[in-house]
Structure 1
């Protein structure tokens, strides 16, 4: 059976993997982001006035609205935060989860500001969420909730192609984005760019090919780049070859699945995967599509053949491997388990999976951490491509594909005449074929991740700091340049 995209996998939502295990004496998610920011800010050389402005969110929206469910009225709470509008539009996902609150949305919005800056995507940072468990509602009920939330965003000017462009996040996908776009267009029927009010849409409604797998693909590109650096190879003992990697991934949703697929396709062994109900482990490697299809049909990994079942999913994090990829939710590596991590590299595919105190433990153990604001930026990068496509009202490659093929065909003909050998039809097709939209999106994402990784590496080496702090320093300096260049920061 052909594997379906994880975006169509409608498993029940539950609390974060290992929920309830975060110690009270560790800082909150928002405080954790602030601590990472402060550590980098002290190194950046940016003025304290600029840093104070940058750190505080620009504006926050909290809305409540009634929804009738089974003849009873339920009050729904939603949030949208614009952390930094130094560039417009602001950008950030909308998540549906029962534990969504103001602090979480604030923290995620701040990360979006720095994430966009790290990969040179010209957006400000934002985030949104609704405090609901999507598994407890029908599709029709979720549509009503989504549309009602969008009405609130429209009425408060918290959405629009030039203002605020949401995207999918935990608990949402292309379906919800299509509802949001349709609702927005009802408020703005004559706005020619209204299709660009949201990204992560279905292809038929203006989405871009490659968006579903973008974050996972960005994780693959980022880790591939870092293991190619000589200093990383020396520190970890890794060969720098993807096919030599043994990888464990926590989370098998839209990010974890695609990261696993790209690593598997390029020769790596995925030896362990953790999900909310349990973990699976096979030192000889797991078959990703078989696992996906099994979980799709059974609703969990329980009973899956050719793998050991690990009842406590958090213990998957403790298994020995070359690269550990937390791709679930925030605060999964904390004081409770940081000293048990045996990976050589931790690649943060989730937002905020490591607490600051745990991060210090990992660094003292010699474990390299590739931070979330760099490694999981593939989603917002390709969202940027989708937004550009929507504003141009043209599919990528439409104007150039045939011209590229014509030029390549002429080169092939010239080579055949001079070499005296005619290529087969298959060989010609491989050489001559022009780039499709997916090819261009992948190429743009790869170039973006290579550049961002290189910048982070350069700063880490020059300042003798870890990669997370280096990425934050780069982000802070880029955002500060916009703030200070505007001349309107501290108007009287």
Structure 2
């Protein structure tokens, strides 16, 4: 553990960033304290039979803010789960939702287990019992609190949560909206799996297209040719690396918990992932140089560094050695406050987690809306749009006497289906959020970094919501 981590808990780090930004807002101290505080913390201990023994499981659900309902946030399975971490992640969810204009309050959940130590049957028992405990206290429901996947969980766990909820609340017409990140066959939305990594790509791509910002760090606009390092080859890191590679960037280093690989010519993330599945590790990937320590990859020269693993991986101990010109926080809290200050003084552009990794909650919002509307995106308009596009194309061909190629014909005629609309909505959300945050910086001579600007943006939106509710006389 670094000295930085000893000085600040994760929640204290979030509060420190909040306080830094709060001085640039108009809100009274009491309102700021209400915005900052966690509204409800539910700590649970329940028994589950594991093999021949009874094990007492520790779990949490934190609802940070009720300025908008339902609350929204993932559930993680990790033996590192504790109350402070869940509170910090819940508060980040509040600010994240505000920045990307998703009308939820922030929440987070966690079960203190290492899922690798349990069979699927045992994990199902734990997940179902946890869900039942949430139902008991009204900490889950489509209009109350809507969980989602996080570290150590996925579609499987969300389907267990849904089934348990529906068995305890039979006949609830909008019950499928009690959880997001579900399999498509159970009311999930297409595009959810890659949403966070794709959102990271959309946000950083838009930043890289802004000439003034690129000039500030000595780079040309655009993605093509830029060198990228990604820490974490889980769902988020893999998809971020994949989209950068496909856009023409060079992914020169990939970092995992058990090692890191480097190649100045770049990697194809799909090939690395295939190798990892076959061998259990990215280490010794053909043509790659293995680094002595996996954390050495964070300190290599590159244009864009994307930490997509766990929190506090860049701290005051290694921040002075980081050579990246842009850091995109795909994970939650990968930089500690002191690391933030060190890198800002060096002129590094830090794109903060609270907006950059909001792709997951954005697409979860789309899934929730789908569950409430009871209709798949694109179902009503897809065929109409295709027929209209074909008609317009035929008219133009008749007027010009020219024919388009079959490939172009298929492209132009295509009507948007669910995944097209989800990608479009996500891209618009990330672009709009980036420019909202930048506008705060441009409008204030006192706000010099994107994290502070993002907090100012979030605090103003949450404060306005509380004001409109009439909570404060």
Does the pair score TM above 0.5? Answer: yes
Give distance in 2, aligned partners of 1:41 and 1:57.
17
Partner of 2:151: 170
2:167 to 168, 183, 186: 186
2:422 to 441, 447, 453: 441
Partner of 2:347: 366
Q: Does 1:469 align with 2:449?
A: no
Is the 1:82–1:127 Cα contact (8 Å) retained in structure 2? yes
Q: TM-score, normalised by structure 1?
A: 0.94
Is the 1:248–1:323 Cα contact (8 Å) retained in structure 2? yes
Relative to 1, partners in 2 of residues 1:25 and 1:101: Cα closer, same or farther, differing over 3 Å?
closer
Give distance in 2, aligned partners of 1:271 and 1:191.
50
Partner of 1:119: 100
Structural mapping, 1:255-266, within 5 Å: 255-266=236-247
Structural mapping, 1:38-187, within 5 Å: 38-187=19-168
Unmatched 5+ stretches in structure 2:
none
1:252 to 233, 237, 240: 233
Aligned length: 471
- The one-character-per-residue Cα deviations of 1:88-127 (angstroms, maximum 9, x if unpaired) are 1000000000010000000000000000000000000000
Give, in angstroms, the shift of residue 227 of structure 1.
1.4
2:206 to 193, 216, 225: 225
Relative to 1, partners in 2 of residues 1:214 and 1:22: Cα closer, same or farther, differing over 3 Å?
farther
Cα RMSD over matched residues? 1.0
Give SS of 1:297's match: helix
Is the 2:197–2:330 Cα contact (8 Å) retained in structure 1? yes
Is the 2:311–2:334 Cα contact (8 Å) retained in structure 1? yes
Partner of 1:304: 285
Give, in angstroms, the shift of residue 22 of structure 1.
5.8
Give distance in 2, aligned partners of 1:155 and 1:140.
23
Is the 1:247–1:268 Cα contact (8 Å) retained in structure 2? yes
Deviates further, 226-235 or 352-361: 226-235
Q: TM-score, normalised by structure 2?
A: 0.98
Q: Does 1:407 align with 2:388?
A: yes
Is the 1:216–1:254 Cα contact (8 Å) retained in structure 2? yes
Unmatched 5+ stretches in structure 1:
1-19
Partner of 2:440: 459
Is the 2:96–2:354 Cα contact (8 Å) retained in structure 1? yes
Give distance in 2, aligned partners of 1:250 and 1:290.
16
Give distance in 2, aligned partners of 1:103 and 1:471.
22
Q: Does 1:482 align with 2:429?
A: no
Give distance in 2, aligned partners of 1:234 and 1:428.
40
Is the 1:84–1:126 Cα contact (8 Å) retained in structure 2? yes
2:307 to 296, 304, 326: 326
Give, in angstroms, the shift of residue 430 of structure 1.
1.1
